[in-house]
Structure 1
Amino acid sequence: MKILIDNASSHTAKLTKNFLDVEGLELLPHPPYSPDLAPCDFWLFPKLKIYLQGKDFNTLQALGTGLYQYSKSIPGGEYRNVFYTWVERLKLCVSAGGDYFE
């Protein structure tokens, strides 16, 4: 199985790399500083900001429950569409030689 993660220090740490190796996960290459390629950055986090705006959660558990319920409310087709958007963004990145693109 292949996995795409960004170049955050927690993702490139030796412990993480060892875990991925033991689990048989192959890392896909990711250009440095490319939030435009991370579905969480270009799709999920903006949606979460809107969802969380003005809400108060008294506990971490309440926050977790709210985020879980929100994620379950997103139609499956939307996840599929963001996958196709991600593939198109990867193509743009390759066309730009790994440089920033819009």
Structure 2
Amino acid sequence: MTVFWDCDGLVHIELLKQGSTVNSDRYIETLRKLRARLTRVRPGKNVILHHDNARPHTSRQTQDAMKSLRFYETLPHPSYSPDLAPSDFYLLPKLKEHIKGTHFEDDDAVQGDVRRWFRGKPHEFFADGMRKLIWRWRACVDKEGDYVEK
């Protein structure tokens, strides 16, 4: 799953078929879709993309594609810092909590449940995740770059 969200809610989600991997080509295609979606759902907004340092995100190919797409500003992400990635410390743990113990018939059932879960979240849920990001970045600076616990 690749998910993009902001304080107003879910922006774009892609759920890959089982066994698929995200490489630079796949991520660039995702960024193209994201750019088109942002134009529709967040017109005129100043967008800052925050993604981690996974190879598909940082490859020369991806960086060149982002320039040619005239993509938005990117927020730098420190290496080895899942504690500063809001999807890792906030969004996905809450989704895992929702799914825990559920048996799904097939991939379509999982995808449907995940999409419904995201759609059912109020604006405040996403805004809270962004507030926690701000708190974690401040805590990281205060700790001079050390890992930020809950």
Q: TM-score range by the shorter chain?
A: 0.7 to 0.9
Calculate the TM-score normalised by the size of structure 1: 0.87
Residue 17 of structure 2 corresponds to: none
**Counterpart of 2:93?**
46
In the TM superposition, residue 96 of structure 1 has moved relative to its aligned partner by 2.4
Q: Give the number of equivalent residue pairs.
A: 102
- How many Å apart are 1:99 and its aligned residue? 2.6
Residues 1:21 and 1:98: Cα distance change in structure 2 (over 3 Å)? farther
Runs of 4+ that moved beyond 4 A: none
> C-alpha deviations, 1:30-86, integer Å up to 9, x for none?
111111111111111111111111212222222111100001111111111111111
Provide TM-score, normalisation by structure 2. 0.62
- What residue in structure 1 maps to residue 131 of structure 2? 84
State the match for 1:75 in structure 2: 122
The share of aligned pairs that are identical, in percent, is 35
Higher strand share: 2
The unaligned stretches of length 5 or more in structure 2 are 1-46
- Answer yes or no: is 1:4 the counterpart of 2:53: no
Q: Which has the higher helix share?
A: 1
Tell me, which stretches of 5 or more residues in structure 1 are unaligned?
none
- Note if contact 1:3-1:27 (Cα within 8 Å) is conserved in structure 2: yes
